Amino acid sequence: MKNEKRVYTFGNGKAEGRADMRNQLGGKGANLAEMNLIGIPVPPGFTITTDVCNEYYEIGKEKVVELLKSEVEASMKHIENLMNLKFGDPENPLLVSVRSGARASMPGMMDTILNLGLNDEVVEGLAKKTGNPRFAYDAYRRFVQMYGDVVLGLKPVNKTDIDPFEEIIEKVKEEKGVKLDNELTVDDLKKLVKLFKEAILTRTGQAFPTNPVEQLWGAICAVFDSWMNDRAILYRKMEGIPAEWGTAVTVMAMVFGNMGETSATGVCFSRNAATGENLFNGEWLVNAQGEDVVAGIRTPQQITKVGSQRWAELQGISEEDRAAKYPSMEEAMPEIYKELDAIQTRLEDHYRDMQDMEFTVQEGKLWFLQTRNGKRTGAAMVKIAIDLLHEGMIDEKTAIQRCEPQKLDELLHPVFNKEEVKKAKSLTRGLPASPGAACGQIVFFAEDAAKWAGDGHKVVLVRIETSPEDLAGMAVAEGILTARGGMTSHAAVVARGMGKCCVSGAGAINVNYKQKTVEIDGKVLHEGDYISLNGSTGDVYDGKVSTQAADLSGDFAELMELCAKYTRLVVRTNADTPHDAQVARNFGAVGIGLCRTEHMFFDAEKIVAMREMILSETLEGRKKALQKLLPFQKADFIGIFKAMDGCPVNIRLLDPPLHEFVPQDAKGQQEMAEDMGVTVEYIKQRVESLSEHNPMLGHRGCRLGNTYPEITQTQTRAIISAACDLKKQGLDPKPEIMVPLTGSVFEFEAQEKVIREEAAKVFEEEGVEIPFKVGTMIEIPRAALTADCIARSAEYFSFGTNDLTQMTFGYSRDDIASFLPVYLEKKILNVDPFQVLDQRGVGQLIQMAVEKGRGVRSDLKCGICGEHGGEPSSVRFCDKIGLNYVSCSPFRVPIARLAAAQAAIENE
């Protein structure tokens, strides 16, 4: 145990913790402490540290309870004193909530228990004291239900089963002939409690504990246990949160939003979490407990009048109806609304970021239960950072640091094709919970989503409501549609975090899980039918609507300009077509870092010539095929040079793993035989003789150019003559020719000679000359080790970290999937090294090669062009070791630019 103090109290304007103690107290605990310190009304409580969570898993439940006992007892006294109530005392009972709270927010992943401290005697006392037996028994009913589920484990056995507690509620309602929960009488609620307890005893073998102290320890331990539940583990994996961080546990005095019409509960955001708009917004429910809002069981009302009017417009509700049936909090409780608005402004000013807050109003008194920096979509992230900058709340560097590079990805995601969507049939409209467009086949269960997606289908997950158990299904779905729940329902919060399109609260849809159908406005859709969602408007369309790339300007462009101001490392792109080059250039790429020439032969006509070249046994045969390839290559290079006019274009000589290109199937072999005028037998035999045991280590890269120099000659001719043509047209092509898979300087020099001789010939024929560079990939460990020798001849290095990772680890890049999951599970690897650069091993080779190379050639330009070039942590490393550029696929260019600017600021 690092710190002997295990429990930190807060309440009444004082606190033992602070906002910067989130590592020990979790985000929730730290901010509750901070809110006390800045005078915001928060119910008193205490937080057990995240270190205790680790102790819990090291030494076990009993010992941890023993260690915590005296501090927890003293802290409960502290709450009792401040609230003037007594835990377990029927005359004047204190009830508490027990909540989880990790360092990073994990919405809905762990467990919470409310109304703890009730039993048959205490509930009677509470009823008497409040004069509101309905409230008391409703609280008791909820507590037994929550405790039975979370602590005692009475849950549905199968996913399709309904919740055992809900089953009992439904049965009682049926007997009574009522539809809504609030139509149940106090006696009905009493009956529910009794039936719940019986079900818990018969189905779990455990009796519901009547002693409040026993209840408290059960709940504290259950929260620690929930750190290791499946959904929390999955969420941590997705968000890269280490298990060692642990969760804190906060125990807080209960305040009640369900004590009648002057009580309420809600969730609010200081700005719009979906769009970033600077507009206070949120949802609330009168006479309800907090979980009613987020669980998506009742569709809540809007807090502000503007929000409420916008919501009504989307739902097609008239202003009179809205004002009468769905008033905003601003209209229904104007005084409290004013206080709420003032506090939300204060919290945002204090934290200088968008806040996501939970509050409760108990009989006219406002309490804040939580504040945190709000999760937001990629679009909102950029807008909020730029707006806060303009408002003078943060400086430029902070604005850059506030944006998560990976999240930019969401901005780059498609929207619907405008024409198609005009013609599409709108089935209904729900809430625009998470923006973007999605189109896919309907599935109803998370497991089905995973299965279908695994088979290559695009799916949309359709649910009545989602629960955290659906996380895995949501992760693989294109979009999520739910019948119930508001903008802060679990589905909405999680989808926004994932950057997934989500439409929630589409009340007009009727989901039938048993039949796997959804009925919308009389039309019945089945599993597998197509549906399209617009998460920005809430529209649900029948069938397929195709999508198109997003428009990037405004705040995004401003952020990118800021990045350019602070970055040191520039970003190039990996592109093999003029279109991709143009896309990347629009995203701010300043050149091509890798043009894989073999990728230029994937289309039907070109692949035949390429295969012919590979299959030819003789020099003549190859030359003939190469002559066919030459015009294609030249035309492609012209297109690419044009798209990247004035910027360097690094073209790599042919590096085809042969097995990917020779025809393996009978049809392809037949075609090749006809085309080359030989027998199928001959082709078969050639394919066989070309087959290799280890194609990745075989006849590829510069080994090809060194054994067949005519390939290098032809490619050089295509590159240089394309550049000459453009030069004559007044353009400014900047070719770089790169030798792949160099392992020794001699391999490089042999190729360099061929390149320079052929280029000289072309210049002479064309009558113009263009400066160009000849460099090499460094992707074999030996090349890194002998980089000083190679740099004598090579004018630049480009680190091919895909092959370098493959050959440094000895993991086949094509076969890692067979053992990677187990390696990750057993923590032999923390991440996939093909995605995140292994800085200690592969990174060391890169760093050494840069130093050795620059020792010989001080102006040696170094870049990286493996997949890592667009991965933020790898980009940071590239900046640290002084590379000149990173190169990545076009859609990752903005991500790399942001990561590069952040790296420059951090490494300053």
Binding residue positions for substrate: 596, 652, 779, 800-803
Nearer to ligand PEP, 473 or 800 (CB): 800
**Alpha helix positions (H), 648-708:** 666-676, 680-690, 702-707
Residue positions counted in the chain: 908
Per CB under 6 A, the segment of 68-76, 170-178, 179-187, 798-806 that binds ligand PEP is 798-806
**Alpha helix positions (H), 786-892:** 787-793, 801-809, 820-825, 842-856, 872-880
Residue 94 parent element (H or E) = strand 93-94
Question: Which 811-870 residues touch ligand PEP, going by CB under 6 A?
Answer: 865-866
Nearer to ligand PEP, 117 or 800 (CB): 800
Question: Which 725-784 residues touch Mg ion, going by CB under 5 A?
Answer: 779
Given CA atoms 325, 327, 329, 334 in this order, what sign does their dihedral have?
negative
448 contacts which partner out of ligand PEP, Mg ion, none, CB within 5 to 8 A by kind? none
Asked whether position 596 contacts ligand PEP by CB under 6 A, the answer is yes
Question: Looking at 34, 71, 803, 838, which residue binds ligand PEP (CB under 6 A)?
Answer: 803
CB of 655 to ligand PEP, least distance (A): 6
Nearer to ligand PEP, 154 or 896 (CB): 896
Question: Which 863-882 residues touch ligand PEP, going by CB under 6 A?
Answer: 865-866
* Count of residues that interact with Mg ion, criterion CB under 5 A: 3
Residue 215 parent element (H or E) = helix 212-226
870 secondary structure, DSSP code: G
Q: Can you tell me which residue has the tokens 């762990």?
A: 110
Asked whether position 801 contacts ligand PEP by CB under 6 A, the answer is yes
Nearer to Mg ion, 358 or 779 (CB): 779
Task: Detail the residues annotated as belonging to a binding site.
Answer: 596, 652, 779, 800-803
Q: Which residue is nearest to ligand PEP (CB)?
A: 800
CA-CA-CA-CA torsion for 429, 433, 436, 440, nearest 10 degrees? -60
Q: Residue 241, Cα to own-chain centre: how many angstroms?
A: 12
Cα separation, 380 vs 279, whole angstroms: 12
CB of 739 to Mg ion, least distance (A): 12
Nearer to Mg ion, 476 or 778 (CB): 778
Q: Which residues, in sequence order, are bridge partners of residue 15?
A: 10
CB of 774 to ligand PEP, least distance (A): 18
The three-point CA angle 133-138-140 to 5° equals: 95
CB of 34 to Mg ion, least distance (A): 50
Nearer to Mg ion, 739 or 860 (CB): 739
563 contacts which partner out of ligand PEP, Mg ion, none, CB within 5 to 8 A by kind? none
CB of 738 to ligand PEP, least distance (A): 10
Number of H helices, E strands in the chain: 37, 34
801 contacts which partner out of Mg ion, ligand PEP, none, CB within 5 to 8 A by kind? ligand PEP
Identify whether 865 is a catalytic site residue: yes
Question: Which 775-794 residues touch Mg ion, going by CB under 5 A?
Answer: 779
Which residue among the candidates 221, 490, 595, 789 is catalytic per the annotation? 490
Q: Can you tell me which residue has the tokens 């004559």?
A: 728
* Count of residues that interact with ligand PEP, criterion CB under 6 A: 10
Q: Which of 439, 440, 376 is nearest to 411 (CA)?
A: 376
Q: Residue 708, Cα to own-chain centre: how many angstroms?
A: 46
- 501 near 435, Cβ under 8 Å? yes
Cα separation, 860 vs 797, whole angstroms: 7
636 contacts which partner out of Mg ion, ligand PEP, none, CB within 5 to 8 A by kind? none
Task: Detail the residues annotated as belonging to a binding site for Mg(2+).
Answer: 779, 803
Question: Looking at 387, 580, 779, 879, which residue binds ligand PEP (CB under 6 A)?
Answer: 779
164 contacts which partner out of ligand PEP, Mg ion, none, CB within 5 to 8 A by kind? none
Question: Looking at 43, 440, 800, 890, which residue binds ligand PEP (CB under 6 A)?
Answer: 800
Question: Looking at 11, 45, 307, 800, which residue binds Mg ion (CB under 5 A)?
Answer: 800
Question: Which 652-671 residues touch ligand PEP, going by CB under 6 A?
Answer: 655
CB of 779 to Mg ion, least distance (A): 5
Which token pair is 804?
């370098």
Burial class of residue 689, CB neighbours in 10 A (0-12, 13-18, 19+): exposed
Asked whether position 698 contacts ligand PEP by CB under 6 A, the answer is no
Per CB under 6 A, the segment of 165-173, 413-421, 747-755, 795-803 that binds ligand PEP is 795-803
Asked whether position 259 contacts ligand PEP by CB under 6 A, the answer is no
CB of 318 to ligand PEP, least distance (A): 60
Asked whether position 803 contacts Mg ion by CB under 5 A, the answer is yes
- 571 near 459, Cβ under 8 Å? no
Q: Which of 500, 471, 476, 473 is nearest to 233 (CA)?
A: 471
Asked whether position 575 contacts ligand PEP by CB under 6 A, the answer is no
Cα separation, 845 vs 431, whole angstroms: 52
Q: Which of 898, 890, 899, 901 is nearest to 643 (CA)?
A: 890
Cα separation, 895 vs 875, whole angstroms: 10
Residue 128, amino acid? K
Cα separation, 399 vs 381, whole angstroms: 10
Which token pair is 719?
């590159």
User: Residue numbers of the site for ligand PEP (CB under 6 A)?
Assistant: 594, 596, 655, 779, 800-803, 865-866
Q: Which residues are catalytic?
A: 490, 865
User: Residue numbers of the site for Mg ion (CB under 5 A)?
Assistant: 779, 800, 803
